Chain A
Amino acid sequence: MINEIISMNGYGAYVWSAFSFTLISFTALYFVTKLQLSKEQKRFASKFGSLNVEKARAARSQNINREILSNTSNI
């Protein structure tokens, strides 16, 4: 059974390489995108941390900024 699945009637090399290429591409794109997202979240958190009290309060008044900060703490 296992041998049949691996050999695929002699087409195993073609079938498995096509599926492997697809899954490797998915994994690479997922991790590159995740890396870009966490880099941008960290940059936001560090910029936010350097704001003075007045500016930080103004920035915190926007829902989206609060949301970004809450997600950043989960990284």
Chain B
Amino acid sequence: MFKYFEPNKIFAITSKAPKYVLFLFIIVLTIGLTEALILSPEDYKQSDAVRIMYVHVPAAWISLGIFTSLAFLSVGSFVFKNKNFALIAKSLAPSGFIFNIIALVTGSIWGKPTWGTWWAWDARITSMLILALFYGMYLLAWRIYEDKEQVIKVTSLIAILGVVNVPIIKFSVDWWNTLHQPASINILSTNTAIHPSMLVPLGIMTAAFALFSLLIFLMKYNTELIKVKNKGLDRL
């Protein structure tokens, strides 16, 4: 099955896709920003400060999703001995890290008007900071190690160890008393604490952020493939 996803076969698609993804991203982001900043209602308790949710929540979701993907891809590269998995994981990590930083910074900005503090060593916030450290270690390892086999082992280990933190982040608000509010959306049930007038902009912003991470992934993946081909030219 993996032969259909070999870099040589999919490069024709991945090299042309970014311009279409960028176009779609700009359209979806424009709609999302209009909804989030102008059309959506203010919250009865938090007033307009609630609008920070439209960047904070999608960023947190996508950073968690990408790190989980890194762990699965790392296991995949071990099990199937497929280096393309490692290349895909390496290309996903930068956008995951940026989304993690965005979630931390916008969360801190949101914390000031709602909790009265920029930062608290609370379970959810601290576990998100730990995730950022794992992302940092993962990206640093790709820069530090020269040997391909060694770097794949080290980064896989970081991703597999780091993914243990993902359920801790998810359930931290249920397991401990935290400043952070519990989850308002449960994808496994129809019960959601958010009104559709806020849920729709949140969905659109999440789609925009997902498109941005796809765009960065495609550009990064193409860069990595060209690097491999550059080494191939040296060996000719």
Contact = CB atoms under 8 A, between A and B. Distances in A.
Interface of A: 5, 8-12, 14-15, 17-19, 21-22, 25-26, 29-30, 33-34, 36-37, 40-41, 43-44, 47-48, 51, 55, 58-59, 62-65, 67-68, 71
B48 A11 contact: yes
A58 B105 CA distance: 50
Interface of B: 7-8, 11-12, 15, 33, 37-38, 42, 47-49, 51-52, 55-56, 59, 94-95, 98, 101-102, 105-106, 109-110, 112-113, 212, 215-216, 219-220, 222-223, 225-227, 229-230, 232-234, 236
A63 to B, nearest CB: 6
B132 to A, nearest CB: 13
Contacts of B112: 14
B77 to A, nearest CB: 21
B65 to A, nearest CB: 17
Contacts of A44: 226, 229-230, 233
A29 B110 contact: no
Given A30-B212, A48-B233, A63-B11, 20 more contacts: A8-B51, A9-B48, A11-B47, A14-B112, A14-B113, A19-B55, A21-B102, A22-B55, A26-B212, A29-B98, A33-B219, A36-B223, A37-B220, A44-B226, A44-B233, A47-B233, A47-B234, A59-B232, A62-B8, A65-B229
